[in-house]
Amino acid sequence: MRDMMEENYKRWHQHNEQQLAADVQAAQQKEEENAAAQQRRRQEALAAQHRSNQQQLARKAAAAQADRAADAAFKEAWGQRLAQLKQEEQQEAAEAREKALQVQRFQQWQSEHKVAKKQAQQLADVQDALMSQLAVQEADERVNEYSQLLLEETAKRGLSTQPVALHVVRAAKQRSALTPSM
């Protein structure tokens, strides 16, 4: 019995040893699995972190690129607008210069027209005065001729020519007082 007990004890001990070895092996395997899982989780976390970092960098780069593109578009639009404004300004200045020249030409024409009109009026006035003077001279000559004929006729008849001569002199003075001199 003792042998049997010893044998039972050995079997029990061997079974416990095997169970312990199996438990140790299972614990080691579990620990290895846990370590592998933890390693996988760490790698997945690192990979996720890396992807997140890459996405964030890509978003920042895209935002920076969009900002640069927006700045370039803004600068180009303002450049075009400034060029357009400058062109409009130059066109307005050219139009203002042209209008000023037109006004100046019109005023010069108007001034020349007034001067020409004044000169024409002065010439017409001078011509009228000369015509009037000529008409007066012709009338004076006719009166003088008539007076001379009257004096000669009075002398032929044997009458005194003194009253006729006095009348002729008075009439000549009156005409000369009424006639404007040039």
Domain coordinates in residue numbering, the chain: 2-136
pTM over 0.75: no
The CA distance from 166 to 84, in Å, is 95
| Residue 168, pLDDT score | 76
| Residue 166, pLDDT score | 83
| Residue 180, pLDDT score | 57
| Residue 89, pLDDT score | 96
| Residue 107, pLDDT score | 95
The number of C-alpha atoms within 13 Å of 51 and in the hemisphere containing its C-beta is: 6
| Residue 165, pLDDT score | 80
pLDDT (tens digit, 9 = 90+) per residue, 38-88?
999 999 999 999 999 999 999 999 999 999 999 999 999 999 999 999 999
| Residue 136, pLDDT score | 82
**Ordered mean pLDDT values, 10 residues apiece, the chain (182 residues):** 78 83 87 90 92 93 94 94 96 96 95 94 92 87 86 86 81 70 53
Cβ(166)–Cβ(123) under 8 Å? no
The CA distance from 148 to 145, in Å, is 5
Q: Which residues lie below 8 Å from residue 179, measured CB to CB, with a gap of 6+?
A: 133, 136
